[in-house]
Structure 1
Amino acid sequence: MKAAARLLPAALFAACLHSPATVAAGFDCSKASTLLETAICTTPSLSAKDDTLNERYKPLKDRKIFRELENFWLREVRNRCETAACLEVAYDQQIKLLTPVPALSQVDPKSLQPLPRDQRYTQVEDEPWQRFPLATVADMSEDSFAYLVDVATLDGVLNVVLFVSEKQDDEGSNPGNIYDSRPIGTLYEYSDARPGLHPFARNVRFDGWNNITANDQGRRYAGIIDGVFYYRQKLSGEAQQSMAYKLGSKATPQPSTQLYAAESNSKRFAKAQISGDLNHDNSGLLIYYPHLTGDSNPYDRVMDKDAGGWSLVNPTWSPTRPVLYFDNNGGFACIWRVDLVSKRLEKIVPEHEAVAARPVDVIGREAIVYLEADQLMFAIAPDQ
């Protein structure tokens, strides 16, 4: 994995020169042009690790996510090393990151227990995940708004569906009002194997949620099943049509007899129960454990209402982990993670325009896709 590198100190350079033999690496050692590359080629353990890393990376390099992860590692980790020990650690970490993790066993919600009543979640505000843009939503105007509809990993490749609203001026809606319950706009798909946003349905009056702009949007009417995106579009009056689009096909969506329906993101895949109605009171978060009964009224007080500054939006459960994600502070949001096992409340995306986190597993690792202004973003959990 040859890349521009910093010069290493003379001591390490000397060690390279006295190495007994030049060994193989993940790049052509005959073309090694820096001290760092020379160190890798002439140190057997580093050369072996470079080979291993190259084997892990080669089948993934056509995907934008892994190219970004590799470029970050080269730039910010490997090429900053000034000792052989640092390089050893850097390679170990990246090999581990690119090694697929076995699928998680489903957590039994009945195994989860609340904190003692006098304790609170540990709040962590400096736990940002590695994050970078996947695509730009082009030609967004001040009257338009982007919605992240659904994500799925198909054959190991991340796929995302977005809806971008346009100016509205019919059926009694106010021009440019993004709060119209059935906005007109364009549906886009993103595939990590084919970077960029690709429109597949234009001028659609999209019906994706029961309440499209509420803190908790209610029942879902659009989503991905087995590589097919199902959605509903409003026709004249109250008439609706169910549509189906096979992801990656570039074909025109077709009418479908299958209706997509799922619970709210605050209930779907839920490992515990969020108290109250977040559309009316979203300034605190209590999580109840319905499998526990009795006078103890078991719950976790994740954050207090009187703590100030909380406005919970888009609560979404991970399908595979006992974890809840949400935006804080509405349209000027940052993204938080609630871990029901470690009892931690973590700010994982600090930018205040970050919204609508959707969980996804990438080679078995915890990650999210979200929106930030006109950017479709990706963030991955730090490797433990």
Structure 2
Amino acid sequence: MELIFVIRDKSFVFWAMLFVCSYAHSASFDCNKASTEVERKICGTPSLSALDEQLSAVFKPLKNILTFQIIERDWLETQRNTCESTECLEDAYDQQIRFLTPLPEVAPVTEKDVKLLPADKIYTQSSRSWRIVELSGLPNEKGVSERFLLSAEMLTGMLHVMIFEGHYDVQLSAYKGNLYEYVDRYPIAQPIIHTIAKDIGFDGAVNLGGNDEGKRFAGILDGSFYYREQITRNQQKGMVYKLGSNSQPKETSSLIQQWSNSNEHAIGGVMFGSIEMFGPIKAYYSHSTGEETIAPANTPGNDWYIYSPIWSKSRPVFYFKNGSITIWRANILDKTLTKVVSGDGEDLIQNPTPVDINGREAVVYLHGPNLKIAIAPDE
């Protein structure tokens, strides 16, 4: 009787089949293969299914970028899959969708937009951890005593980072070691760290590794990395490597020379306390007389001992290390000073370098032998 009923009641069969089909395709994954309580909850809740599809749509343009593959995997493991309620899942999806949605291009800021802070005011100071992703370990071959992140650039939506590892050679009067390129590409069809040149004398700046490195002789221009190779103590040659090509670098007659990171892209200038090692942080601007205090000396919890100041290319912001294990940002437009990265005492943080990734403010840096990126959270 049941069999006859099913065959005759065509509308029942139609709606039953529709229910099964809609259940199987109500999320970005195959609901027929849902194996966890969270996955079954997503498939069985229309609002969550819609959010899952929305997340899949915003993630699709980012799926070839390793940074976002790591972020998505971490989100699944530590946030989505730990939820026990619909409300928790909806909140987790909302946050992730917002984070992965590209932000509009930042409007350029000129000197006339920057006003000098009154003498009795200081920057608003805070600590806010950014989302940190470990991108790759460096080869860290025998004899390495120095590491430098030389340049970082977004090229057609992909992050390229140039890194040197080696030691200072007294006889050569230059650093000697290996030059690498990191490409933030997924899937990884080849080594994520590509060796550009091995066991070379490298000349990257007047004072490579110094607090103010002076003029720089290595950098990225028009999709290529230019540098100078030290042949002997008194002889150099210009070299160029096309980013992402994994090809051999070539000799070139074109040489690059850039201002130091503390001057390149600067809207104003940065002045540090010079009498005391832990003096105040101050800023001055070429278009305005006077100076403003970013932070006074001996701020509670922060003795200012500044290294590696560097300006953003696109924002009214400069970044610096305070000591060896924290990275700070100072916004000269809204007058805020924020600690964005806190490391540990075992490995030194080096060369914070700003980039924009998916429209978001970010900083690439070395933490010991590891390359990391810190990405700004939502305001």
TM-score under structure 2 length normalisation: 0.86
For residues 9-58 of structure 1, the C-alpha deviation after alignment (integer angstroms, 9 at most, x for no partner) is xxxxxxxxxxxx73610111111122211221122121111112112223
1:287 matched to 2:277? The reply is no
Of 200, 219, 223, the residue aligned with 1:227 is 223
Aligned to 2:73: 71
Displacement of 1:109 in angstroms is 2.3
**Inter-partner Cα distance in structure 1 for 2:62 and 2:298:** 47
Aligned to 1:362: 357
Question: Secondary structure at the residue paired with 1:275?
Answer: strand
Question: Secondary structure at the residue paired with 1:245?
Answer: strand
Is residue 178–residue 200 contact of structure 2 (8 Å, CA) maintained in 1? Answer: yes
Aligned to 1:259: 255
1:187 matched to 2:179? The reply is yes
Aligned to 1:48: 50
TM-score under structure 1 length normalisation: 0.85
CA RMSD between the two structures:
2.3
Aligned to 2:329: 337
Displacement of 1:199 in angstroms is 0.7
Question: Secondary structure at the residue paired with 2:169?
Answer: coil
Structure 2: runs of 5+ lacking an equivalent:
1-21
**Inter-partner Cα distance in structure 2 for 1:241 and 1:314:** 27
Is residue 215–residue 279 contact of structure 1 (8 Å, CA) maintained in 2? Answer: no
Paired residue type of 1:24: S
Displacement of 1:276 in angstroms is 5.7
Is residue 41–residue 47 contact of structure 1 (8 Å, CA) maintained in 2? Answer: yes
**Inter-partner Cα distance in structure 2 for 1:280 and 1:223:** 33
Aligned to 1:321: 315
Cα distance change, pair 186–72 in 1 and its aligned pair in 2 (3 A)? same
**Inter-partner Cα distance in structure 2 for 1:370 and 1:377:** 6
Question: Secondary structure at the residue paired with 1:166?
Answer: strand
Is residue 356–residue 362 contact of structure 2 (8 Å, CA) maintained in 1? Answer: yes
**Inter-partner Cα distance in structure 1 for 2:178 and 2:258:** 22
Paired residue type of 1:323: V
Displacement of 1:226 in angstroms is 1.8
Q: Report matched runs for 1:1-384 at 5 Å.
A: 22=23, 24-125=26-127, 127-141=128-142, 143-166=144-167, 168=169, 170-171=171-172, 182-193=174-185, 194=188, 196-275=192-271, 283-293=279-289, 297=290, 299-307=291-299, 309-329=303-323, 332-352=324-344, 353-384=348-379
Cα distance change, pair 189–278 in 1 and its aligned pair in 2 (3 A)? farther
Paired residue type of 1:304: P
Greater displacement, 364-373 / 226-235 = 226-235
What fraction of aligned residue pairs are identical, expressed as a percent? Answer: 40
**Inter-partner Cα distance in structure 1 for 2:85 and 2:275:** 54
Cα distance change, pair 239–324 in 1 and its aligned pair in 2 (3 A)? same
Displacement of 1:97 in angstroms is 1.6
**Inter-partner Cα distance in structure 1 for 2:26 and 2:184:** 31
Paired residue type of 2:281: L
Displacement of 1:166 in angstroms is 3.4
Is residue 140–residue 374 contact of structure 1 (8 Å, CA) maintained in 2? Answer: no
Paired residue type of 1:119: K
Paired residue type of 1:258: S
For residues 138-164 of structure 1, the C-alpha deviation after alignment (integer angstroms, 9 at most, x for no partner) is 234465211000001111011000011
Aligned to 2:15: none
Displacement of 1:306 in angstroms is 4.4
Is residue 182–residue 192 contact of structure 2 (8 Å, CA) maintained in 1? Answer: yes
Cα distance change, pair 278–83 in 1 and its aligned pair in 2 (3 A)? farther
Displacement of 1:316 in angstroms is 0.4
Displacement of 1:78 in angstroms is 1.6
**Inter-partner Cα distance in structure 2 for 1:237 and 1:169:** 9
Is residue 25–residue 41 contact of structure 1 (8 Å, CA) maintained in 2? Answer: yes
**Inter-partner Cα distance in structure 1 for 2:255 and 2:373:** 29
Is residue 189–residue 197 contact of structure 1 (8 Å, CA) maintained in 2? Answer: yes
Structure 1: runs of 5+ lacking an equivalent:
1-20, 174-181
Displacement of 1:72 in angstroms is 1.8
Paired residue type of 1:256: T
Displacement of 1:342 in angstroms is 2.8
**Inter-partner Cα distance in structure 2 for 1:327 and 1:278:** 17
**Inter-partner Cα distance in structure 2 for 1:128 and 1:327:** 15
Cα distance change, pair 200–365 in 1 and its aligned pair in 2 (3 A)? same
Displacement of 1:213 in angstroms is 2.7
Q: What is the number of residues matched between the two proteins?
A: 350
Displacement of 1:355 in angstroms is 2.0
For residues 160-207 of structure 1, the C-alpha deviation after alignment (integer angstroms, 9 at most, x for no partner) is 000111363634x6xxxxxxxx21111000001146211111122111
